[in-house]
């Protein structure tokens, strides 16, 4: 997702430009093997889509392409690229045959001159980008791709909770998901103060909420948890220091920290995290914030595997469903320890 700010303006995000939807019988039909999901392991917006793909069991139906965590400068702009160190021979994705994700954008719209972001869902036969709408992608994976869901896939967006999920998602997006960026890229002290205090006020409310229940909407994981958690898993590693979100660390919130570990230790969550990619991307790419490009070493990732005791609150993480099987070998990430 792209952001911009002048020295006197708060950061603003560009609206999604490619928002086509894949639906049964639509112009872009649901079809196993037709689409490739391009992500960065560093990006929280891509991470939520990876979580949905894993939990619904769409690993085989939608292939995964992982970019290098460090963007390459092309035409004076940072771009997501494929390199041999992330498993792309000759620095090209082996399925799409492209070096930079922007090639799929230009294949779809040759005159496109906007930002290029992950995730990107690409139509393999044409090489055209279908969507970079990370919000809609997770919802559609849950509601439009059901014919290809694994047996035992959870219902993360149940009809009776959708209004509540949507309202909470909006608050989380404004104050937390986007809030860390508004603080990190604040052009003035006043804009930073507004963003950082709104962020921690929301975290305080979420702490209270999670003191009383295991997950955001109660005893089971929902779409709302998929939206909050990618920010939490990056919080102490990059947002606390790099983005100056340092009123408190995540580990100083008893309920939020235990909740984050609970999810990390669930199949489909921790097995999608590459903390090395996260640290390297943020510290190496954001040269306006970190001109030396020195990558911070901590915190110790082994903390994510410590007991959380959230099971004492009861509940069933996957509701009437079951946990996903381990990811396919090409999609696996290095263990945290």
> 31: domain CATH number?
3.40.30.10
Residue 294 covered by a domain: yes
pLDDT of res. 99: 98
Residue 337 covered by a domain: no
Q: How many domains does the chain have?
A: 2
Q: Which of 89, 123, 148 is the last residue of a domain?
A: 148
- Clarify whether residues 121 and 172 are in a common domain: no
Q: Which of 97, 126, 148 is the last residue of a domain?
A: 148
The CATH number of the domain holding residue 324 is: 1.20.1050.10
Residue 216 covered by a domain: yes
Is residue 290's pLDDT more than 70?
yes
pLDDT of res. 237: 98
Q: What are the φ/ψ torsions at residue 190 (nearest 5 degrees)?
A: -65, -40
Strands 28-29 and 63-66 come out as unpaired
Full domain range(s) for residue 210 = 159-331
- Clarify whether residues 92 and 33 are in a common domain: yes
Residues annotated as catalytic (active site), given as ranges: 43, 181
- Clarify whether residues 134 and 53 are in a common domain: yes
d(CA 35, CA 131): 11
Task: Provide the whole-model pTM.
Answer: 0.95
On whether 80 is known to bind a ligand per the annotation, the reply is: yes
d(CA 160, CA 250): 31
- CA atoms in the 13 A half-sphere facing the CB of 97: 7
* 141-190 pLDDT per residue, tens: 999 999 999 999 999 999 999 999 999 999 999 999 999 999 999 999 99
- Clarify whether residues 214 and 114 are in a common domain: no
Residue 290 covered by a domain: yes
- Clarify whether residues 216 and 286 are in a common domain: yes
Residue 37 covered by a domain: yes
- Clarify whether residues 109 and 204 are in a common domain: no
Is residue 5's pLDDT more than 50?
no
Residue 9 covered by a domain: yes
Residue 143 covered by a domain: yes
- Clarify whether residues 31 and 127 are in a common domain: yes
pLDDT of res. 6: 40
Rg (CA), the chain: 19
Exposed / middle / buried, residue 276 (Cβ in 10 Å: 0-12, 13-18, 19+): middle
- Clarify whether residues 79 and 127 are in a common domain: yes
- Clarify whether residues 215 and 276 are in a common domain: yes
* 116-140 pLDDT per residue, tens: 999 999 999 999 999 999 999 999 9
pLDDT of res. 7: 40
Is residue 17's pLDDT more than 70?
yes
């Amino acid at each position: 997702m792209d952001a911009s700010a002048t020295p006197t303006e708060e950061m603003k995000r560009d609206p999604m430009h490619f928002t086509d939807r894949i639906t049964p019988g639509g112009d872009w039909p649901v079809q196993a093997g037709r689409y490739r999901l391009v992500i960065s392991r560093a990006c929280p917006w891509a991470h939520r889509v990876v979580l949905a793909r894993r939990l619904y069991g769409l690993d085989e139906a939608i292939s995964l392409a992982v970019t290098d965590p460090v963007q390459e400068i092309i035409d004076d702009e940072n771009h997501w690229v494929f390199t041999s160190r992330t498993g792309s021979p000759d620095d090209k994705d082996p399925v799409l045959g492209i070096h930079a994700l922007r090639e799929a954008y230009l294949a779809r719209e040759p005159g496109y001159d906007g930002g290029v972001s992950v995730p990107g869902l690409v139509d393999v036969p044409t090489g055209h980008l279908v969507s970079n709408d990370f919000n809609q992608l997770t919802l559609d994976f849950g509601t439009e791709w059901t014919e290809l869901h694994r047996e035992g896939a959870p219902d993360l967006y149940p009809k009776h909770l959708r209004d509540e999920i949507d309202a909470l998602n909006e608050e989380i997006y404004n104050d937390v998901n986007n809030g860390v960026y508004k603080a990190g890229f604040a052009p003035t002290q006043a804009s930073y103060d507004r963003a950082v205090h709104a962020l921690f006020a929301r975290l305080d409310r979420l702490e209270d909420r999670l003191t009383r229940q295991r997950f955001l909407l109660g005893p089971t994981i929902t779409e709302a948890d998929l939206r909050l958690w990618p920010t939490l898993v990056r919080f102490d590693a990059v947002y606390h220091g790099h983005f100056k979100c340092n009123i408190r660390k995540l580990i100083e919130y008893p309920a939020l920290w235990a909740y984050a570990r609970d999810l990390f230790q669930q199949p489909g969550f921790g097995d999608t995290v590459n903390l090395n990619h996260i640290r390297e991307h943020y510290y190496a790419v954001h040269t306006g914030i970190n001109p030396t490009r020195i990558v911070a070493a901590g915190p110790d990732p082994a903390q994510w595997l410590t007991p959380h005791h959230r099971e004492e609150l009861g509940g069933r993480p996957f509701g009437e469903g079951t946990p996903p099987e381990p990811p396919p070998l090409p999609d696996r990430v290095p263990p945290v320890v």
